[in-house]
Amino acid sequence: MAPRVADVDARREQIGRAAIEIFARDGFQGAAVGDIASLAGLSKGSIYRYFDDKEALFHAAFEAVRMRLLRDCRAAMAEQDRAWDQLAAAVTATVEAFRSYIAIVPLTLEFWAAASAGDTRQRFGTVMADMYREFRELVIALLRQGQAEGDVDADADVEAIAAWLVAGLDGLMLQHWFDPAVDPLAGASSMLSTLRKGATNASQI
Amino acid sequence: MAPRVADVDARREQIGRAAIEIFARDGFQGAAVGDIASLAGLSKGSIYRYFDDKEALFHAAFEAVRMRLLRDCRAAMAEQDRAWDQLAAAVTATVEAFRSYIAIVPLTLEFWAAASAGDTRQRFGTVMADMYREFRELVIALLRQGQAEGDVDADADVEAIAAWLVAGLDGLMLQHWFDPAVDPLAGASSMLSTLRKGATNASQI
DNA sequence: GTATAATGACTGACTGGTCATTCATTATAC
DNA sequence: GTATAATGAATGACCAGTCAGTCATTATAC
């Protein structure tokens, strides 16, 4: 109807918000493009003016969620001076992000599945690999700085630690999703304090 | 009377094996029951003689994989005396199971997704919740015994530790699946040694 | 040992339905 | 009048689950 739409980016974002909600509720395969269109206040056909196909829509939804998480982490880190405190803040911010924006969880699970099997595997698999590399590298950098600042053992295997720290956060969110009695914050705190004691000679000996 | 003396259990297992392979390759929604039937050497119609519907097939596939994992864990534990060594053996056995039977990974990811969104959520959600509770309880029991044997601090929060240990294994397997350069065994070893140092006064002080 | 009857595992064409994607048409703004 | 956004009916492909019929195998009678 409206020629020269006011703002293409705004419309894409509007559709993306609807996509997050529907994909989180119904899954990737289960979601109907028409439902996303309705929620965005458009018709099915219009979706295809802004996105090539359903997969592109899914990718955009996940990307939006990922950026939000990364932004929250960086914001929390900016408030701390020492690398160790920044790491703790990032971990806490991640858990908080999951709790305050719970749609992240089912959306992520759907994305994992899409990246691991079926036609979507190739397209989304590299996206996941890149994302985890990025998260691990963030943690590795903090741990290295922590070593320089004397909060982390010089001989700690920072790569391995980064992998299981990120892994632990994912897994805690997963268990919390299936069973709300599992407290992800308690788990993350325990993980951090154990790491603090287990990989820090300076403060113990 | 009964032609080919059909061994119902054997047939179900034969179909189950095919189901694991196809679901791991194509995902739950993406898999065609006809493909599973072909791989099992049967026709589509016959599948429904042994399973109520596609979901039942999926459930059976996951259950088989879960039992195998649990069996491997218990076997590894049986070879150790002290609770701490049993825990370490179980963790290593889990990682080894993932590596030697890699189809577990995409199948698990599919199951997570099915348990988190869409029509399948209710049916599979409780299965997941129960499974994680079972795994956590196994770890909790070992940690408690470890406390009794003096290998684990008396004031350690065993519930929180169990949650993040299980979480870490899931997450490591996930990262390894997307990026084979991530070594899950190195991650798991680091996690264990950190826990050993961080939650054990006895051996350090 | 042979012929016949009974059985039920197995098949695959079929039904009913879903849904992503396309495109001819309509509405709107300038 | 023209360019473009938006629409939604139409298309085509896919697939879970059903069921009437087939036929190899077993049981029984003699």
pLDDT of residue A65: 94
Query: Whose structure tokens read 């649990």?
Result: B70
Residue A203 has pLDDT above 60, yes or no: no
Q: Which residues of chain B have pLDDT under 70?
A: 1-6, 201-205
Q: Which residue of B has its CA nearest to A178?
A: B129
The Cα–Cα gap between A66 and B194 comes to 29
Q: Report phi then psi at B63, rounded to 5.
A: -60, -40
Is residue B191 within 8 Å of B183, Cβ to Cβ?
Answer: no
Q: What are the DSSP calls for chain B, one per residue?
A: --GGG--HHHHHHHHHHHHHHHHHHH-TTT--HHHHHHHHTS-HHHHHHH-SSHHHHHHHHHHHHHHHHHHHHHHHHHT-SSHHHHHHHHHHHHHHHHHHSTTHHHHHHHHHHHHHSSTHHHHHHHHHHHHHHHHHHHHHHHHHHHHHTTSS-TT--HHHHHHHHHHHHHHHHHHHHH-TTS-HHHHHHHHHHHHHHHS-STTT-
Put simply, the answer to whether A106 touches B129 (Cβ < 8 Å) is no
pLDDT of residue B199: 85
Tokens found for residue A52: 């090539």
Q: Alpha carbon of B194 to those of A91, A200, B176: distances in Å?
A: 18, 10, 20
Give the domains, in start order, of chain A with CATH numbers. Answer: 8-198 (1.10.357.10)
Contact A178/B at CB under 8 A: yes
pLDDT of residue A2: 53
Q: Nearest residue to nucleotide D18 when comparing alpha carbons to its C1'?
A: B45
Closest CA to A86 of A143, A154, A131, A171: A143
Q: Which nucleotides of C are covered by protein (CB under 7 A)?
A: 6-13, 18-24, 26-30
State the amino acid at position B194 in one-letter form. Answer: T
Could you read off the pLDDT of A153-189 as tens digits, one per residue? 999 999 999 999 999 999 999 999 999 999 999 999 9
Residue-averaged pLDDT of chain A: 93
B46 touches strand C (CB under 7 A): yes
Tokens found for residue A42: 């458009």
CA angle B97, B163, A74 (to 5 degrees): 105
pLDDT of residue B201: 62
Q: Nearest residue to nucleotide C18 when comparing alpha carbons to its C1'?
A: A32
Q: Which residue of B has its CA nearest to A182?
A: B163
CA A59, A65, A67, A68: dihedral to nearest 10 degrees? 160
Could you read off the pLDDT of B5-48 as tens digits, one per residue? 567 888 999 999 999 999 999 999 999 999 999 999 999 999 99
pLDDT of residue B205: 42
Residue B127's Cβ-count burial label (10 Å; 0-12, 13-18, 19+) is middle
A110 interaction partners in chain B (CB closer than 8 Å) = 113, 116-117
Contact A109/B at CB under 8 A: yes
Residue A90 has pLDDT above 60, yes or no: yes
A198 touches strand C (CB under 7 A): no
Residues 44-83 of B with CB under 8 A from A: none
Put simply, the answer to whether A117 touches B30 (Cβ < 8 Å) is yes
Could you read off the pLDDT of A35-51 as tens digits, one per residue? 999 999 999 999 999 99
Contact A169/B at CB under 8 A: yes
Is residue A118 within 8 Å of B27, Cβ to Cβ?
Answer: yes
Q: What is the total residue count of chain B? A: 205
The Cα–Cα gap between B169 and B67 comes to 17
Could you read off the pLDDT of A96-143 as tens digits, one per residue? 999 999 999 999 999 999 999 999 999 999 999 999 999 999 999 999
